[in-house]
Chain A
Amino acid sequence: MAKETNFFFDFPTLPVEMIRAFKKSTDAAYKGFSREYGDLIESFFNPLLKFLVFWEKLLVGTPWLVIIGVVCAFAYFGTRSYKIVIGIILSFFFVGYMGMWQDMMESMGFIIVATIMSIGIGIPMGIWMSKSNRAQAVITPILDFMQTLPPFVYLIPVVMLLGIGKIPGLISVIVYAIPPMIRLTNLGIREVDREILEAADSFGATPSQKLRQVQFPLALPTIFAGVNQTIMMALAMVIIASMIGVKGLGQEVLRAITNQYFTLGMLNGLAIVILAIVFDRISQAYGKRIQKHRSGDAI
């Protein structure tokens, strides 16, 4: 015994050797697992990679005028506001003029794929959760865990398993961005007025008719709030994902941080903000349009 330990000031711990052994053996087991199954899992995600590459190529390969036209068309049909359309044109011109067009297209493709995947997985999960209290009891703490665990921590196992690249980046973005999608789908369906459900029951509607005709449409505004949140969180995650090889605006920001290029960081950060505002305005506008029946105005 070299040192005197005081029970009240030094927290009782496992012996250092045991902790080291625990860490070592867990890491070794995981490494073994990833060596064994890494290729298999990678090939499992291959279709996803193709999907992602398809979107990136589509956005990068399309003439910039066409892209601006399409985004403006979406914005106009969503908001019916010329102000927003003009704002989008000006800010996209700014991004392009400052030489960040291709990076922004790569990020945009990445966000679109992450959002599509989050919706595709999140909505069925949310529906399942709304139908079963047991599912809700199990999934809720998992979502809490996903939302509070620092993203850097779950980057480690993903990278160990799949290496550096687009897919591990995409997976970590989805893990980060999907919880609001699941939560708000569940909430939206559970919030549907009981008397309206009773009315559907009284007409002999089956559970699936109730879901498609009543619960899902009435939950749509809440679900859309989830889509909007998911997009915003995916955008926020773009920079962290760039640390494991996702290209686009995030990578430039990362380069700016490591080299202390203030202006480069500022410009690319601005481009991310622009992307976020555009996505936010358009998705919110569509969310509001679904609720048009809630207003008393003639349509």
Chain B
Amino acid sequence: MSNNKIEIRKLYKIFGPDPLPLIEKVNNGVGKDELLDKYQHVLGLSNINLDIPDQSLQVIMGLSGSGKSTLIRHINRLIEPTSGAMMVDGQDVLTLSQNELLEFRKNKTAMVFQKFALLPHKTVLQNVSFGLFIKKVDPAEAEKKSMYWIERVGLLGFENRYPQQLSGGMQQRVGLARALANDPDILLMDEAFSALDPLIRKDMQDILLELQSELKKTVVFITHDLDEALKIGDRIAILKDGCMDQEGDAVDILMSPKTDYVKKFVEDVNRSRVLKAKNIMQNVSEISKDLLDGQSLKVKADDVIEKFIDRVVTDKPNLVEVLGADGSAIGYLSPSRLAEILRK
């Protein structure tokens, strides 16, 4: 048994009246534009394969039209694929009957939407408990659970307001609380923070990371913003025109972009602000003996390079020691490694 929560296999989605025969054409290299011109079908997704480990935060990134929103809607089957498999906990979601699908959506997944998609005629409390209401959870218990999540996202005191009376950031907190109140294994976030101001967006990212470090859900997060992807993603998949361009962790994407498209994306990223010590640290075996004996600088695993680079320059340590949560060294960084990473 692998520890993948979600396994996407050979997933195709072609929009149009008769898509099945066109899969072969797409496999033979017919692109998105040609498919539209010649066959009047729109290519949504083409041969997507992706493993999402349990309890990880998977970012799916791409520009508009790249198929990222289409892909996330296949996980809870809001969109039917043309062909392929979507395994969740070893079960193919695409073979579920209508009733099984409703049960799956009630218990396994919850979704947060770009434009919040709150129910305007219901109060914050009623919105947050919507999923529990659908599941027919006892009202008193549903209220207790909902109030807990309203408090966790910092909306205590607003539970009897209507969504229209809240700011965008607060509305999306309601959206997040509504998803979490359902206690799903999988949290699907479709450009959840894209509609928010930069400052509010940063707040929401921090809330999500804090909650995730405690809850350990499997999160699938869609975004078009590389900085956001690098900040929150354990792993990042980049989509272009319905095809998977590259998949990997932040370091893979930043240090070894595979295609021109990805290269263009990462060109302007400030690496020292994005990469954390734990992302780039080396094993003890990769470090030469004499460096280990010398004077070292101690940094935390979650510190970004920017936070300690000045001390590396002024103190000139032989080695940077990366400390884990318990204070012991979990990895090392040689100055030459740092220099290599910061060089473009």
Query: Min CB distance, A120 to chain B, in Å?
Result: 23
Please state if B134 and A293 are interface contacts (CB–CB under 8 Å).
no
- Contact, CB under 8 Å: B78 / A198: yes
Give the residues in chain B near A201, CB-CB below 8 Å: 78, 105
Could you tell me if A205 and B134 are in contact, using CB atoms closer than 8 angstroms? yes
- The chain A residue sitting closest to B79, CB to CB, is A198
Interface residue? A256 (CB, 8 A) = no
| Nearest-neighbor residue (CB-CB) of B188 within chain A | A202
Q: What is the CA–CA distance of A288 and B109 in the complex, to the nearest angstrom?
A: 37
In the complex, the chain B residue whose C-beta lies closest to that of A299 is B162
B164 touches A294 (CB 8 A): yes
Question: Which of A3-11, A73-81, A213-221, A279-287 faces chain B?
Answer: A213-221
**In the assembled complex, which residues on chain A have CB atoms less than 8 Å from the CB atom of B188?**
202
Interface size, chain B (Cβ < 8 Å): 32
The answer to whether A204 touches B162, judged by C-beta atoms less than 8 angstroms apart, is no
- Interface residue? B135 (CB, 8 A): yes
With contacts A202-B76, A203-B105 known, is A295 near B120, CB below 8 A? no
Which one of A213, A218, A295, A299 lies within 8 Å of B133 (CB-CB)? A213
Are B119 and A202 interface neighbours, CB within 8 A? no
Instruction: Please state if B121 and A203 are interface contacts (CB–CB under 8 Å).
Output: no
Q: Complex: how many Å from CA A236 to CA B76?
A: 52
A148 at the interface (CB under 8 A from B): no
Chain B stretch 97-122: residues in CB contact (< 8 A) with chain A:
101-107, 109-111, 113-115, 117-121
Closest-by-CB residue of A relative to B104 is A204
Instruction: Kindly identify which residue among B106, B121, B135 contacts A218, using a CB–CB cutoff of 8 Å.
Output: B121
Complex: A269 Cα to B130 Cα, angstroms? 51
- The A interface is mostly helix, strand or loop, or mixed, namely helix
In the complex with contacts A193-B117, A203-B131, A213-B133, A293-B110 CB distance below 8 A = no
Q: A195-B117, A196-B119, A293-B120 are in contact. Are A202 and B165 (CB under 8 A)?
A: no
Whether a CB of chain B sits under 8 angstroms from the CB of A298 is yes
In the complex, the answer to whether A293 meets B130 with C-beta atoms within 8 Å is: no
A299 to B165, CA, bound (A): 10
- How many Å lie between the Cα of A299 and that of B102 in the bound state? 35
Per-residue contact bits, chain B 285-301, to A (CB 8 Å; 1 contact, 0 not): 00000000000000000
Minimum CB–CB distance for B117 against chain A, Å:
4
Q: Is chain B's interface secondary structure helix, strand, loop, or mixed overall? A: mixed
Could you tell me the distance in whole angstroms from the C-beta of A295 to the nearest C-beta in chain B? 7
Contact A293–B113 (Cβ < 8 Å): no
CB–CB A199/B117 < 8 A? yes
B164–A199 CB distance below 8 A: no
Q: Which residue of chain B has the shortest Cβ distance to A194 in the bound complex? A: B117
Min CB distance, A213 to chain B, in Å?
Answer: 7
In the complex the two chains form, is A296's CB within 8 Å of B164's CB? yes
Does B182 sit within 8 A of A, measured CB to CB?
yes
Q: Are B164 and A198 in contact (CB under 8 A)?
A: no
Query: What distance in Å separates the Cβ of B78 from its nearest Cβ neighbour in chain A?
Result: 6
CB-defined contacts of A196 to chain B, threshold 8 Å: 117-119
Given contacts A204-B102, A298-B165, A299-B162, contact A198 B134 (CB under 8 A): no
A206 to B104, CA, bound (A): 13
Q: Chain B residues near A203 (CB, 8 Å)? A: 105-106, 110-111, 130-131, 134, 182
A-facing residues in B61-106 (Cβ within 8 Å): 76, 78, 101-106
> Which of A218, A293, A294 has most chain B Cβ within 10 Å?
A293
Docked pose: A296 CA to B120 CA in angstroms:
11
- Contact of B120 with A204 in the complex, beta carbons under 8 Å: no
B131 and chain A: residue at smallest CB distance: A203
Please indicate the chain B residues that have their CB under 8 angstroms from the CB of A199 in the complex: 111, 113, 117-119
Query: Does A46 have its Cβ within 8 Å of any Cβ on chain B?
Result: no
A26 adjacent to chain B (CB < 8 Å)? no
* Residues B118-171 near A (CB distance < 8 A): 118-121, 130-131, 133-135, 161-165
Rounded to whole Å, the gap between the CB of B172 and the closest CB of chain A is 13
In the complex, the answer to whether B182 meets A218 with C-beta atoms within 8 Å is no
CA A209 to CA B135, docked complex, whole Å: 11
Question: A295 to B164, Cβ gap below 8 A?
Answer: yes
- The interface bits of chain A over 166-208 (1 if a CB of B lies within 8 angstroms of the residue's CB, else 0) are 0000000000000000000000000001011011111111100
In the bound complex, CA of A22 to CA of B78 (Å):
57
Bound-state Cα–Cα, A296 to B166, Å: 8
Q: Are B78 and A202 neighbours in the complex by a CB distance under 8 Å?
A: yes
Which has the most chain A C-beta neighbours within 10 Å: B113, B115, B162, B182?
Answer: B162
Nearest CB on B from A40, distance (A): 43
Q: Distance (Å) between the CB of A223 and the closest chain B CB?
A: 13
| Chain A interface (Cβ < 8 Å from any Cβ of B) | 193, 195-196, 198-206, 209, 213-214, 217-218, 220, 293-299
Closest CB pairs A-B (n = 7): A204-B105, A204-B106, A199-B117, A202-B111, A293-B162, A195-B117, A204-B102
What are 24 of the A-B contact pairs (CB < 8 Å)? A195-B114, A195-B115, A196-B117, A198-B113, A199-B119, A200-B134, A201-B105, A202-B111, A202-B188, A203-B105, A204-B103, A204-B104, A204-B105, A204-B135, A205-B134, A206-B102, A213-B133, A217-B119, A217-B121, A293-B121, A293-B162, A294-B120, A296-B165, A298-B161
